[in-house]
Chain A
Amino acid sequence: MIEFLVNGESRRVEADPETPLLYVLRNELGLMGARFGCGLGLCGACFVHVDGVSVPSCDTPVWSLEGKSVVTIEGLTPHPVQQAFLDEQAAQCGYCVTGIVMTAAALLERRPHPDEHEVATALDRHLCRCGAQQRMIRAVVKAGTTAAGEGDG
């Protein structure tokens, strides 16, 4: 039994301790916003916050979360960066977007007004195959200029 916070609520998970967090979120907790992309922590589609840091949930075993705080896109919503993504229509297929929003929100928490270069560097762990990167960079910069980047803490 592993106990940790998910979006502010205490959760007890019975899964095998080696089970990646992603499967627990999607199948046991019904939180589908983190997406499976590679299972190796290399694409960014499954990112969530663990104690405020954006990490891949697909290679984070649940045993490592004891006593920690996990925030998913469902817990983050609504966030100014999401509105900025909609304003910029910063997506095509959208599969990579939730992971990118998580990392962008963590960046804005750290650096409330990042420039394009800082945003691109922060998002370099994330892949987008449709080629919406420039729109996303614009959206995150815009979120930083219009709001102080209220995050999940």
Chain B
Amino acid sequence: MAELPPGLAANPILARWIQPAADGTIAVRVGKVELGQGIVTALAQIAADQLGVDIAAIRMLPAGPDGPDEGLTAGSLSIMNSGSALRVAAANVRELFAAAASSAAVRAATPGTAGTDATTEGTAGAGTVSFSYAEWAGRVDLEVPADPDVPLRAEREFVGADVPRFDLPDKVFGRPRYIQDVRLPGQMFGRVIKPPSRGARLLSVEPALPAGVMLVREGSFLGILAADEAVAVRAAEVVRKAARWAEHDSLPDEDELDKFLRAGPHETITVVDDGEEPPAGARVRATYSRPFIAHASMAPSCGVAVWRAADLVDVWSHSQGIFLLGRAIARELGLAPEGVRVEHAENAGCYGHNAADDAAFDAVLLARAVPGTPVQVLWSRQDELAWAPFGSAMTADVAGTLTADGRLSSWQYDVYSQGHTARPGYAGGVPGLLSATLLDPPADYPAAVDPPAEAGAGSTRNALPGYDLPRRRVTGHRLIESPLRSSAMRALGAHLNVFAIESFMDEAALEAGRDPLDFRLAHLSDPRARQVLESAAEAAGWGRELPEGVGLGLGCARYKGRGAYCAVVAEVEAETEVRLRRLHIAVDVGLVVNPDGVRNQIEGGATQSASWTLVERVRFDRRQVTSDTWETYPILRFSQTPAIEVTVLGSEEKSVGAGEAAQGPTAAAIANAVASAIGVRVRDLPLTTEAIVAAIDRDT
């Protein structure tokens, strides 16, 4: 007997996934959530093919307490994990309907056709049967566990096609769609007033508030409620000005991040140690770094909550893990797990663990002051940029030995970082909700940890190069404290690790007197890796004559060592300022579910990585983050974004996600292109004018 895919094994009852309706539609509910990555559409494609219906019949419902618990929407795993579960669930539903139709003796000698009325055929016993989901809806018992041995339908009508995103019309026409658009009867608007700095304690607050505005204070947690949103915004400012706090220094020196990251204490993570000392030969070594980076979602985080009873609260959140969030809230407030019901509502894109969960908990806390009344809490832009978790600053030392014939004969890699996840309930079961640390008594905020190696690791994600290298020693050093809150952000450690490894490959190639592409291929036997590398290089015209001040650079990696292959060639124009002209990208995600969806994810990932790499840096003093507006935390603007050509290499290999594959290779490609254009190696991100000038000073 075959095994069920893990997501289905954990949620085997078919009715939680799929429910055909008498009106011809088929409701599908998955545990993965739409973050703007198009996952809901891609999963609908998979369901439609297995159900044997037109995709127009599929109605995707938001993830919620009645649907399957699929953990987090993270790690570029949704297509692989949720897709495989949904595929089998849909095949089961099809076969149960076929069996019901068959037993009613509606056998047909010829196969039926799939149509928007959700009519299809399934195998039943020895023959095929044509049936309509609408006709049999409600008469087939789906409160049954999935059978792993049900045959999968081989026909692909929608998988592999550029199906337009389900969610885009609402977004383009400006219809209510996001959590900020939720307006429940009697709803109040809440705002939280964050402390002025980390670890600050509220001493006193006696604001003069207009009638109808309610102040909520629990320990150092401070919020207000009002029936009118504009009044709430103004009242929050009044409270902010009236509050007195005790503050102290708690943050590292932003100009000494390297020292801070190396100081420890650390958890040591041995990724690989071949146990052999480097042989004689030319030693090449270099150190690379990146600063803290913000999610900087376009919408601030938002939460909606209503207390139905003293032990029951309903929550709407744009969390990536609604069940984990529900359990964390329950644990923090001493409720039974089933006392917190969380439904997903979309917000602007997030790229990992941003403040979504925190805002949901804020809504729960404020709503507790007005039982039965729905409360919507929206963070300010400043709080979003200052208080949401960041992608950790990182620094990496790379050393290798070159043989006389220009091959690497040893590889040593040490990476230093804060942890890369502090999601609710993740680190040692501690809730990990920001405002819990402000209550009386305050909860401890967990230090960020790293996901285990089997989940792709964190600080050491992609720390192991995909090249054929002997005498490897790859070690992570995770700080066991995280004074500046860090958690999962797109690609986790892979952004810095691939940037460091691929920059170093160029530096080693230069030392060996070899072309960077040839040098990589000489160390690369994986045929799929070679294919993306050669494909991107060819598309970019690698090796062509370039004008003065223009350079091409390469970056390549297989995400997590087992996900998507991605190679990037960047073309930059640089003097003291970098202008990123163009990216040529080749990607292999195995079997492609939605080619345009893959291109969109790769383009977006590469553009965002270009922004991290070129301009982004979280700024802070010893008490608080100071880069809390779009002026102090700039991201790439329209006229700075590169033209992007993506080649999607199709294959029949297992489908893997595309969302994070471009982050590391893009960073490296840009840095390598800058070095090629101006002959200066910048090893510290972002690649600003100051960084280039500093690198020139270092070399002279």
Q: How far is the CA of A33 from the CA of B169 in the complex (A)?
A: 12
B637 cross-chain contacts in A, Cβ below 8 A: 124, 127
Residue from A35, A77, A101, A120 in contact with B638 in the complex, judged by beta carbons closer than 8 Å: A120
* Residues 157-173 (chain B) with a chain A CB within 8 angstroms: 164-165, 167-173
CB pair B638–A137 under 8 Å, yes or no, is yes
A15 cross-chain contacts in B, Cβ below 8 A: 230
Q: Does A86 contact B (CB under 8 A)?
A: yes
Closest residue of A by beta carbon distance from B41: A89
Residue from A19, A97, A124, A131 in contact with B172 in the complex, judged by beta carbons closer than 8 Å: A97
Residue from B37, B168, B604 in contact with A86 in the complex, judged by beta carbons closer than 8 Å: B168
- A92-B299 CB under 8 A given contacts A19-B230, A85-B172: no
Q: How far is the CA of A130 from the CA of B36 in the complex (A)?
A: 8
Q: How far is the CA of A98 from the CA of B177 in the complex (A)?
A: 12
CB pair A133–B638 under 8 Å, yes or no, is yes
- State the total of A-B contacts with C-beta under 8 angstroms: 172
CB pair B629–A42 under 8 Å, yes or no, is yes
B181 cross-chain contacts in A, Cβ below 8 A: 26, 32
Closest residue of A by beta carbon distance from B297: A129
Q: Does B381 contact A (CB under 8 A)?
A: yes
Residue from B175, B228, B644 in contact with A134 in the complex, judged by beta carbons closer than 8 Å: B644
CB pair A129–B175 under 8 Å, yes or no, is no
- A93-B35 CB under 8 A given contacts A129-B608, A130-B349, A131-B605: yes
CB pair B298–A96 under 8 Å, yes or no, is yes
A137 to chain B, nearest CB (A): 7
Q: How far is the CA of A93 from the CA of B175 in the complex (A)?
A: 14
- A36-B378 CB under 8 A given contacts A93-B349, A134-B607: yes
* Residues 118-148 (chain A) with a chain B CB within 8 angstroms: 119-121, 123-124, 126-137
A133 cross-chain contacts in B, Cβ below 8 A: 607, 636, 638, 641
Q: How far is the CA of A134 from the CA of B177 in the complex (A)?
A: 24
CB pair A124–B380 under 8 Å, yes or no, is no
Per-residue A-contact encoding for B591-607, CB less than 8 Å = 1, 0 else:
00000100011011111
Total residues of chain A contacting the partner, CB 8 A:
56
Per-residue A-contact encoding for B366-403, CB less than 8 Å = 1, 0 else:
00000000000010110000000000000000000000
B212 to chain A, nearest CB (A): 13
Q: Does A106 contact B (CB under 8 A)?
A: no
Residue from B164, B180, B381, B639 in contact with A124 in the complex, judged by beta carbons closer than 8 Å: B639
B641 cross-chain contacts in A, Cβ below 8 A: 120, 131, 133-134
Q: How far is the CA of A93 from the CA of B172 in the complex (A)?
A: 10
Q: Does B176 contact A (CB under 8 A)?
A: yes
A44 to chain B, nearest CB (A): 9
CB pair B603–A135 under 8 Å, yes or no, is yes
Closest residue of B by beta carbon distance from A24: B230
Q: Does A1 contact B (CB under 8 A)?
A: no
Q: Does A72 contact B (CB under 8 A)?
A: yes
Q: Does A38 contact B (CB under 8 A)?
A: yes
* Residues 1-38 (chain A) with a chain B CB within 8 angstroms: 15-16, 19-20, 23-24, 26-27, 32-38
A150 to chain B, nearest CB (A): 16
B178 cross-chain contacts in A, Cβ below 8 A: 35, 95
Q: Does A55 contact B (CB under 8 A)?
A: no
Residue from B176, B180, B638 in contact with A123 in the complex, judged by beta carbons closer than 8 Å: B638
B410 to chain A, nearest CB (A): 37
Q: How far is the CA of A148 from the CA of B448 in the complex (A)?
A: 54
Q: Does B272 contact A (CB under 8 A)?
A: no
CB pair A35–B180 under 8 Å, yes or no, is yes
Q: Does A94 contact B (CB under 8 A)?
A: yes
B631 cross-chain contacts in A, Cβ below 8 A: 42
CB pair B171–A91 under 8 Å, yes or no, is yes
B38 cross-chain contacts in A, Cβ below 8 A: 92
* Residues 28-61 (chain A) with a chain B CB within 8 angstroms: 32-40, 42-43, 45
Interchain Cβ contacts under 8 Å between A and B, 26 examples: A16-B230, A27-B230, A33-B174, A35-B178, A36-B300, A36-B378, A37-B298, A43-B381, A86-B164, A86-B168, A89-B164, A92-B349, A94-B36, A94-B170, A94-B171, A96-B298, A96-B348, A117-B639, A121-B639, A131-B604, A131-B605, A131-B641, A132-B603, A133-B638, A134-B603, A134-B607
Q: Which residues of B contact A (CB under 8 A)?
A: 35-38, 164-165, 167-178, 180-181, 228-230, 233, 296-300, 346-349, 351, 378, 380-381, 596, 600-601, 603-608, 611, 629-631, 635-639, 641-644
Given contacts A35-B180, A131-B606, 6 further A-B contacts (CB under 8 A): A23-B230, A77-B173, A89-B165, A93-B35, A95-B349, A131-B607
